[in-house]
Amino acid sequence: MATTEASEHAHKYATLLDSLQDAANLYPKPEGLKYSYGTAGFRTLANLLPPVMFRVGLLAILRSKRLAGATIGVMVTASHNPEQDNGVKLVDPSGEMLEPLWELHATTLANCPSTASLLSTFMTLVSHLRVDLDQPANIVYARDTRPSSPGLVEALEAAFRAFSDGAKVVDLGITTTPILHYVVKATNDKSGESGIPTQEGYMKRMAKAFKTLIGNRGPLAPLHVDCANGVGAFALEEFSKHIGDLLPFRPINTDVKTRGALNFQCGADFVKTKQALPPSVAQSGVLSKPDTRGCSFDGDADRLVYYYLRDGKTFRLLDGDKIAGLVAMYIKDLVGRARMHENNEPLKIGVVQTAYANGSSTKYLKSRNIPVRCVPTGVKHLHHAAQLFDIGVYFEANGHGTVLFSPSCLTTLREFQPDSPESANAIKQLIALSELINQAVGDALSDMLLVEVVLAYRGWGAEEWDAGYEDLPNRLVKVEVHDRSQFVTIDAERKLQYPTGLQDHIDDAVNKFELGRSFVRPSGTEDCVRLYAEAKSTADVESLTTMVTDLLTYYGGP
């Protein structure tokens, strides 16, 4: 009997390997290319990605089988990158980014030079990671609006089909990155507390929470939303059906059909790096009217920045740092009003930032007794650091972030017996907040609603929000270098370890300027290094940026 079973197994694996071989032969890896799983998955020119997609499909199946059939997400997107790029990343069952160790396995599979080496690496992973191939596999996948995405999804599906016992797959079609993360989390959460695992379930949950939080403060003034000509336009349109006139949207840059329009001169990354309105928004004149605010999503709607024109003229950016400050102070207020500390340990509220956070924002938070942590760039780093608080607010300056409520905090909130109407109301609002805010990943749509909730609560417009602190003048630029992998950082990316000697020169430059700060790090999503500089005056920032750019050209120019 045992012998029969063993031979059945051997036959099954041989059939699987045959099937994988046939499918893999259609997606050979181009010679000489080296792929790596960067800040948010693989990202490069779309035409170089089909072999990567196929191999990511295989890894998604292995990951799901390794976790006894838990649902894994696959998102095909290059987010803020230009339209000719594309990318792919895996989402773990909790809705978070893929576990870092598995990022290495993804890189290994992606770089196998031949079908033979791919199959042998695949079987090595099966054995080393103790994957039981008889376990089920469940995958949810989605894509953004890039024209290259359908072709890349085909390569992914070829991997799913190659498993003769069938992976159970759900295609969400075109949707935003954060909706995919939410669906993965909600699918795996059998308690139902994370919500119904569909796009509609997501929209309804957010709309309900938003209505609770706005209460009788609506309807709110119209909000101009730049959708970066990406998938956020669909999500916004869909969501608006659920809230009617409570918050009227005025969408801009919703053209998902014209080639080359995605992220071009619009979107959160454009606004943050250029520190200017998208030309389309400027030309429309919509922000010139008093008390008008606008915001920008990025191409897959996981980043958000706000802005307005001071006196109808001067551009003022309200970026991820400003959102973190606004939200952290609001939550601190609600927690205070809930008066839970009399019978419980006080809830720990903290903010997580990266080196890109403006020095003024960190000072603002610390001066208000909010603990601040600094971690390397990349949502996975921020997310994990935020989980160490009861309520962890994390935002990158580029507008990527969310607020996490720990499971024990949620239990405390639900079980707490308030002794006054004010406390009861604050508790109700905190619970609604945890349902409004995407608990899996940063989400432009949900973050935008969060900002609107806080502004309505405070009775503020963008100008009052902006008044909290003044950003130090700053610049963020991309510098092309010969090989960005030569740039190795330490100290949460605030210092360079290599190239040897460069950091000393950067320090010398920084020391010439009052409140000067500058750092350099290799991008994990684009082929460049990023240079950040800030100082007391705009002229100083320009000089510092030029000095550090010259150093980079000397040390690693193209």
Which DSSP category does 343 fall into? T
Shortest distance, CB of residue 143 to ligand G16, whole angstroms? Answer: 14
Shortest distance, CB of residue 224 to ligand G16, whole angstroms? Answer: 21
401 touching ligand G16, by CB under 6 A: no
Q: Write out the H or E segment, with its range, that includes residue 252.
A: strand 249-252
**CA 234, CA 556: separation in Å to the nearest integer?**
42
User: Judged by CB, which is closer to ligand G16: 302, or 447?
Assistant: 302
Q: Write out the H or E segment, with its range, that includes residue 455.
A: helix 444-458
User: Judged by CB, which is closer to ligand G16: 38, or 93?
Assistant: 38
x-or-dash pattern for ligand G16, window 55-94, by CB under 6 A? ------------------------xx--------------
Cβ neighbours of 9 (radius 10 Å): 12
**CA 306, CA 447: separation in Å to the nearest integer?**
11
Structural tokens at position 157: 């599906």
Instruction: Compute the half-sphere exposure of residue 414: CA atoms within 13 Å on the CB side of its CA.
Output: 10
Which DSSP category does 97 fall into? B
**CA 74, CA 88: separation in Å to the nearest integer?**
7
Shortest distance, CB of residue 396 to ligand G16, whole angstroms? Answer: 5
Shortest distance, CB of residue 368 to ligand G16, whole angstroms? Answer: 25
User: Judged by CB, which is closer to ligand G16: 197, or 378?
Assistant: 378
Q: Write out the H or E segment, with its range, that includes residue 119.
A: helix 115-128
Residue numbering of the annotated binding site: 79, 298, 300, 302, 396-398, 521-525, 530
**Maximal C-alpha separation, the chain:** 84
Residue numbering of the annotated binding site for substrate: 396-398, 521-525, 530
Q: Give the residue numbers marked as catalytic.
A: 79
3-state helix, strand, coil in the chain (%, to 5): 45, 20, 35
Give the residue carrying structure tokens 């429309």: 284
**CA 397, CA 374: separation in Å to the nearest integer?**
12
**CA 269, CA 431: separation in Å to the nearest integer?**
31
**CA 27, CA 57: separation in Å to the nearest integer?**
12
Cα–Cα distance list, 205 to 50, 193, 306, 471, 535 (Å):
36, 11, 24, 35, 43
Shortest distance, CB of residue 115 to ligand G16, whole angstroms? Answer: 31
x-or-dash pattern for ligand G16, window 520-539, by CB under 6 A? ---xxxx---x---------
Cβ neighbours of 512 (radius 10 Å): 12
Task: Find the binding residues for ligand G16 in span 16-45 (CB under 6 A).
Answer: 39-40
147, 49, 128, 121 alpha-carbon torsion, rounded to 10°:
140
**441 contacts 96 by C-beta, under 8 angstroms:** yes
Q: In sequence order, what are the beta bridge partners of 45?
A: 85
Task: Find the binding residues for ligand G16 in span 361-400 (CB under 6 A).
Answer: 377-379, 396, 398, 400
- Between strands 223-226 and 294-297, the pairing is parallel
**14 contacts 498 by C-beta, under 8 angstroms:** no
User: Judged by CB, which is closer to ligand G16: 297, or 389?
Assistant: 297
User: Judged by CB, which is closer to ligand G16: 352, or 365?
Assistant: 352
**CA 110, CA 126: separation in Å to the nearest integer?**
16
User: Judged by CB, which is closer to ligand G16: 181, or 316?
Assistant: 181
Q: In sequence order, what are the beta bridge partners of 489?
A: 496
User: Judged by CB, which is closer to ligand G16: 353, or 434?
Assistant: 353
- Between strands 223-226 and 249-252, the pairing is parallel
Task: Find the binding residues for ligand G16 in span 292-311 (CB under 6 A).
Answer: 298, 302-303
User: Judged by CB, which is closer to ligand G16: 471, or 493?
Assistant: 493
User: Judged by CB, which is closer to ligand G16: 328, or 379?
Assistant: 379
Structural tokens at position 300: 């897959």
CA neighbor of 440 nearest in space, from 386, 364, 372, 371:
386
Shortest distance, CB of residue 356 to ligand G16, whole angstroms? Answer: 8
x-or-dash pattern for ligand G16, window 174-193, by CB under 6 A? --------------------
Shortest distance, CB of residue 345 to ligand G16, whole angstroms? Answer: 31
Residue numbering of the annotated binding site for Mg(2+): 79, 298, 300, 302
Shortest distance, CB of residue 332 to ligand G16, whole angstroms? Answer: 25
Shortest distance, CB of residue 385 to ligand G16, whole angstroms? Answer: 13
User: Quick one: 333 exposed, middle or buried, by C-beta within 10 A (0-12, 13-18, 19+)?
Assistant: middle
Residues in contact with ligand G16 by the rule CB under 6 A = 39-40, 79-80, 298, 302-303, 377-379, 396, 398, 400, 523-526, 530
